[in-house]
Amino acid sequence: MPKRRGTELALLAFSALIVTLAFVLVQANQEQELSWSVVWYGLAYLAIFGVAHLAVRRWAPYADPLILPCVALLNGLGLVMIHRIDLAEAQRALANGGDAAAYAPRQVLFTVIALAFFLGVLILVADHRKLTRYAYTCGLTGLVALALPAVLPSSLSEVNGAKVWLKLPGFSIQPGEFAKILLMIFFAGFLVSKRDLFMTAGKRVLGVELPRARDLGPIIIAALACLGILVFEKDLGTALLFFGIVLMMLYVATERVIWVVLGLSMFSVGGIIAYSLFTHVQQRVANWFDPLETYYDLGGGYQIAQGLFGLGTGGMLGTGLGLGRPDTVPESHTDFISAALGEELGLVGLSAILIVYLLLSMRGMRSALAVRDTFGKLLGGGLSFAVIMQVFVIVGGVTKLIPMTGVTTPFLSAGGSSLLANYALIALLLRISDAARRPQQPAKPKPAPQAPLAEAHTVMVQRSMAGPVIPASPAGPANPAQPGHPMNPGNSGHPMNPGHPNVPGMPGAPGTTHPPEGGRQP
């Protein structure tokens, strides 16, 4: 068993220690006492990642030892903050004489289901290269999952103004979370098979080799699909995430910056057109420019402004776990959980969490670069980039760096679809990492050639046309170059030498009479 599994176990124990201390601080500061809920959450956390570690030890023993601990730390801190917001909401509901929803128990349940997804992918995908057989099937399924909410009635697909959900009896799922993985598998397989198409240069304009016009089809389709998501599903986050992944994988496959420039240009032009035609896009941009101006408007900048107030309250070191007011920020347990963490942990704590994300993405990229097949490089790079791109989109929206989007923060935010999809993503990344680090099996030595049994026991003999068979010398066959050897036609007495005077019955041999021409011998 590789030593890296011991490293992984030690890092998991360190993550569990941090999460346990965070639970204790939240409970002590919020409730001034410890409750059994902290014990149950802690035991569930240990059980989940204990099983995950054993699964990696069994089915991916050579995988990177830092990937799973990073996920465990992020998932644990997210559970701590969700539990902390639950306590604040329960206190507010008690003061108002109502009931509050508890998201932390559901998050534990979703994590258990996500662990089942993780195990399924890790066991069933024994070799990531086999996914190339299903690349086009994954692409078609991903497009259907991505477009399905847009064609459904708003009553079955719209939540908080975004049509990205599929409402089923008793629960809801977000198909776009699973579509991003399926489309990455498709695009990686497509680029492997069609790489030469994207490498072909067209005309040279201002020193830049532009692609041929007929080769622009895939990137145009990707740009139109993203603009369709932006317009019909009202989801800027998914559009940015999907298009960013496409451009990144295209650049990795071709190493041509022109594809990135063309893609960004197409998306920018499409975004400007969408802004001029659709009011919900204009509203998002207005909230981004000045959230205080639209603070009291329906769908205005109230949420963004409250998140900024929370980040400002936290300052550099934060108010402390359980001592802030993250419950005053709408959706602080999902989209704005980074604002809640920034308020109570400060800029230092939030930066540390972002470094964990960066470390997770870098280790995934490292594994992608080390794997031997091109499909694995592209897929691993896309999966790693998807994690950090998703963090950039949501944290950039919370901090007003870019317009606000509805993307969840991976492993931190409450939500079932996000957890399930991201755990499947991590399982694929671990599979690729295991393939990259697994030592190559030495080639089996070829057996030494042996003479056939019949040939090994064959005795060379000399056959004379006028005498009995003369066996070869007991000492073994002589050198063929020596005189008298049966395999030397030029030697004395060889039966295949018709002109030799020593061969009886042959022309020129002594004692042989030839008939005259045109007659018979008397």
pLDDT tens-digit profile of 127-144? 999 999 999 899 889 988
Question: Is residue 247, in this structure, part of any structural domain at all?
Answer: yes
Question: Is residue 486, in this structure, part of any structural domain at all?
Answer: no
What is the band of 111 on the pLDDT scale with cuts at 50, 70, 90?
Answer: very high
Instruction: With a cut of 90, say whether residue 417 has pLDDT above it.
Output: yes
Q: How many domains does the chain have?
A: 1
Q: What is the pLDDT of residue 354?
A: 97
Picking from 99-103, 216-220, 260-264, which range would have the lowest pLDDT averaged per residue? Answer: 216-220
On the CB side of 513, how many CA atoms lie within 13 Å of its CA?
5
Question: Is residue 93, in this structure, part of any structural domain at all?
Answer: yes
Q: What is the pLDDT of residue 321?
A: 93
Nearest to 247 by CA among 268, 231, 228: 268
Give Cα 118 to chain centroid, integer Å. Answer: 13
Question: Is residue 131, in this structure, part of any structural domain at all?
Answer: yes
Taking the C-alpha atoms of 427, 431, 436 and 440 in order, what is their torsion angle to the nearest 10 degrees?
160
First and final CA of the chain: distance in angstroms? 96
Nearest to 229 by CA among 174, 304, 294: 174
Tokens of 275: 């802004």
Question: Is residue 226, in this structure, part of any structural domain at all?
Answer: yes
Tokens of 282: 């204009």
**DSSP calls for 308-356:** HHHHHHHTTT-S-TTSS-GGGSTTTTTTTHHHHHHHHHHHHHHHHHHHH
Number of helices (H), then strands (E), in the chain: 17, 8
Picking from 17-26, 103-112, 270-279, which range would have the lowest pLDDT averaged per residue? Answer: 270-279
| 3-class state of residue 205 by DSSP | strand
Domain extent, residue 57, equals 4-437
Picking from 37-41, 181-185, 339-343, 459-463, which range would have the lowest pLDDT averaged per residue? Answer: 459-463
Nearest to 150 by CA among 233, 237, 274, 235: 233
Question: Is residue 455, in this structure, part of any structural domain at all?
Answer: no
Picking from 83-97, 194-208, 372-386, which range would have the lowest pLDDT averaged per residue? Answer: 194-208
Question: Tokens 């994690």, residue?
Answer: 387
Mean pLDDT of 256-261: 81
* CA–CA dist 339, 332 (Å, integer): 7
Instruction: With a cut of 50, say whether residue 520 has pLDDT above it.
Output: no
CA geometry: angle 91, 330, 169, nearest 5 deg: 90
| 3-class state of residue 469 by DSSP | coil
Burial (CB count within 10 angstroms: exposed 0-12, middle 13-18, buried 19+), residue 320:
middle
Mean pLDDT of 377-396: 95
Residue 503 near residue 465, CB atoms below 8 Å? yes
Picking from 38-47, 379-388, 504-513, which range would have the lowest pLDDT averaged per residue? Answer: 504-513
Question: Is residue 253, in this structure, part of any structural domain at all?
Answer: yes
Question: Is residue 479, in this structure, part of any structural domain at all?
Answer: no
Q: What is the pLDDT of residue 96?
A: 82
